[in-house]
Amino acid sequence: MSNLVTVPKNGSLTNTTSNVNFPLWSNWIDDLFNRDLPSVFTSNFNTGITLPKVNIKETADAFMVEMAVPGLKKSDFHIDLDNQVLSISTETKEDKEEKNSNYTRREFGYASFKRSFTLPETVDDDKINANYTDGILSILLPKKEEAKQKPARNIKIS
């Protein structure tokens, strides 16, 4: 609550002329539902990581998809193309057990995500390639020859 209540010199909290210092009940409810949810509610409960962000750039010859996913290996990714839908997914599991003379501690973790994109018909799906370097997954989606932008040319009048 951001408003402070001022106490009159007689010590009473009652103000008979105005209720300006006390927010209305409806304002409290509005504030509760309009504020951002804590990150624990917006992250993936199973992994503690959020869905990776994607940059998509179009050039005259291709589309480039870049996804920041540090800490993984190339073998962790599954990239599939099915009926013009490109899916990028990963699933990692970690199982660790420590034994000491007095206790056993076992920890395990699971992380996964999947992002899917419908590709335009202009993509030449036989020439798609992917690269994973320094935590960035890059996927090159070349355009078909007939879809590439051709340079401007001068047409002579006969």
User: Residue 125, Cα to own-chain centre: how many angstroms?
Assistant: 25
Question: 40-93: per-residue pLDDT in tens?
Answer: 444 444 444 568 889 999 998 999 999 999 888 899 999 999 999 999 999 887
pLDDT (average), residues 21-39: 56
Domains and CATH numbers, the chain: 46-147 (2.60.40.790)
pLDDT score, position 107: 76
Query: If pLDDT is split at 50, 70 and 90, which confidence band does 101 have?
Result: confident
Q: Residue 39: CA atoms inside 13 Å, Cβ hemisphere, count?
A: 5
Q: Which one has a higher pLDDT value, 100 or 9?
A: 100
pLDDT score, position 34: 56
Per DSSP, the three-state class of 130 is strand
pLDDT (average), residues 109-135: 90
Q: Residue 131: CA atoms inside 13 Å, Cβ hemisphere, count?
A: 6
Q: Which one has a higher pLDDT value, 76 or 6?
A: 76
| Sheet of 85-99, strands arranged across | 77-82, 85-99, 104-118
| Sheet of 136-142, strands arranged across | 54-58, 62-68, 136-142, 129-133
